[in-house]
């Protein structure tokens, strides 16, 4: 049996050395170490040996198995190195690498980040809230009557549960005031949803940025100064800004804000960019009922709120004529802003 084991080991090492690829090497492994391999068959013959012969033959079998296994591993390493060398044959390592195109932030992200940084420098903190809202937080708490068009199913996305996709991020203002006490100075960027027909200036999902400041002596002049500074920071120091009287259920007085757009090759024109106003005392009174205290007593506090579309800011900043370009993910368009 000793001679048989030595012969098997010798044959195995020869077969492994002659293997020219992974398949041939694996065939050799199976032939000698597999379940029906030669060394495995020799080991099965141990049961016929005497108790004195078994330890000697067992040691020989272990030595042979270790030698064959080590040879297989060394051969695998050698074949891998050879394959690596062949894979780079013909490659000129002195050639410069291929340049990778650089990425960049989406234009909406750029505008949002700029807007947030500007307002944070003015003392506003970021606030967030759910996109699936209750009617109370989206409408009732904002002094929006039951017959207001915005509450119609033709204008708003409702769920069977009665909840809805928020139509503005003003609901974040209410949720913040439910938990915090004055002074409150927040901005709430996020998605809003309305059943608008999609065209060059409207989407059913858009990005909004709203702000709120409530304290004991907030004036209309504070609102005007805040938004003029913000818009000139976004569009340039010479940006012309005007406030037009308007109506919103949750602010009184209310205004729409226009800036004068100077597009190349066109006559300057005023374009609406935001809505704003002083928080209606009815909103504060409702909030006191909800909280069960008087920290937002309309006789003690005042405040202003404003809201604008981030998509509209981007369109004005870069002269984009079709809002759909911002969501189509056309690389040819987006790479202009990278």
CATH number assigned to the domain comprising residue 151: 3.30.930.10
Residues 69 and 146 in one domain: no
Contact 249, 275 (CB under 8 A): no
Phi, psi (degrees; rounded to nearest 5) at 92: -90, 105
Q: How many domains does the chain have?
A: 2
Residues 12 and 113 in one domain: no
Annotation: binding site: 252
Residues 205 and 319 in one domain: yes
Where among 22, 53, 84 does a domain terminate? 84
pLDDT recorded at residue 1:
67
Query: pTM for the complete prediction?
Result: 0.69
Where among 51, 84, 117 does a domain terminate? 84
Residues 52 and 160 in one domain: no
Residues 73 and 112 in one domain: no
Residues 258 and 328 in one domain: yes
Residues 205 and 76 in one domain: no
Residue 163 lies in a domain: yes
Whole-number Å distance between alpha carbons of 69 and 35:
15
Residue 94 lies in a domain: no
Residues 78 and 114 in one domain: no
Per-residue pLDDT of the chain (338 residues; tens, 9 = 90+): 677 778 888 888 888 888 888 888 888 888 878 888 887 777 777 777 777 777 777 787 788 888 888 988 998 898 888 888 888 787 877 888 888 877 889 999 999 999 999 999 999 999 999 999 999 999 999 989 888 888 888 889 999 999 999 999 999 999 999 999 999 999 999 999 998 888 888 889 999 999 999 999 999 999 999 999 999 999 989 889 999 999 999 999 999 999 887 766 778 888 888 999 999 999 999 999 999 999 999 999 999 999 999 998 998 888 888 899 999 989 889 988 88
Residues 156 and 41 in one domain: no
Residue 160 lies in a domain: yes
Residues 53 and 112 in one domain: no
Residue 242 lies in a domain: yes
Long-range contacts of 53-57 (CB under 8 A, 24+ apart): 53/1, 56/2, 57/1, 57/2, 57/5
pLDDT recorded at residue 258:
92
Annotation: binding site for Mg(2+): 252
Residue 102 lies in a domain: no
pLDDT recorded at residue 309:
92
pLDDT in tens, 27-41: 888 887 888 888 777
Residue 90 lies in a domain: no
Whole-number Å distance between alpha carbons of 6 and 69:
15
Q: Which domain holds residue 193?
A: 107-337
Q: What is the dihedral of CA 194, 224, 219, 291, to 10 degrees?
A: 20
């Amino acid at each position: 049996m000793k001679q048989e084991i030595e012969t098997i080991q010798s044959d195995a090492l020869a077969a492994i050395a002659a293997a020219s690829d992974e398949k041939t090497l694996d065939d050799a492994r199976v032939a000698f170490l597999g379940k029906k391999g030669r060394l495995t068959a020799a080991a099965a013959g141990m049961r016929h040996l005497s108790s004195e012969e078994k330890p000697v033959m067992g040691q020989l079998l272990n030595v042979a198995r270790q030698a064959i296994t080590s040879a297989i591993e060394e051969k695998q390493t050698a074949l891998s190195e050879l394959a690596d060398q062949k894979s780079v044959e013909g490659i000129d390592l002195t050639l410069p690498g291929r340049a990778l195109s650089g990425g960049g932030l989406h234009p909406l992200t750029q505008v949002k980040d700029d807007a947030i940084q500007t307002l944070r420098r003015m003392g506003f903190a970021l606030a967030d809230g759910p996109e699936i809202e209750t009617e109370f937080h989206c409408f009732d708490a904002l002094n929006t009557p039951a017959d207001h068009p915005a509450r119609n199913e033709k204008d708003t996305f409702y769920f069977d549960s009665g909840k809805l996709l928020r139509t503005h991020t003003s609901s974040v203002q209410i949720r913040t005031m439910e938990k915090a006490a004055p002074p409150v100075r927040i901005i709430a960027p996020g998605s809003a949803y309305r059943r608008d027909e999609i065209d060059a200036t409207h989407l059913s999902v858009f990005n909004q940025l709203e702000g709120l400041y409530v304290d004991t002596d907030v004036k209309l002049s504070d609102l005007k100064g805040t938004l003029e500074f913000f818009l000139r920071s976004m569009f340039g120091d010479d940006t012309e800004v005007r406030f037009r009287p308007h109506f919103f259920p949750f602010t009184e007085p209310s205004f729409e804000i226009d800036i004068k757009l100077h597009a190349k090759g066109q006559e300057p024109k005023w374009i609406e960019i935001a809505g704003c106003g002083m928080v209606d005392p009815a909103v504060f009174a409702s909030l006191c009922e909800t909280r069960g205290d008087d920290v937002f007593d309309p006789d003690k506090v005042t405040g202003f709120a404003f809201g604008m579309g981030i998509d509209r800011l981007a369109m004005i900043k870069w002269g984009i004529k079709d809002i759909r370009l911002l969501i189509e993910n056309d690389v040819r368009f987006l790479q202009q802003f990278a």
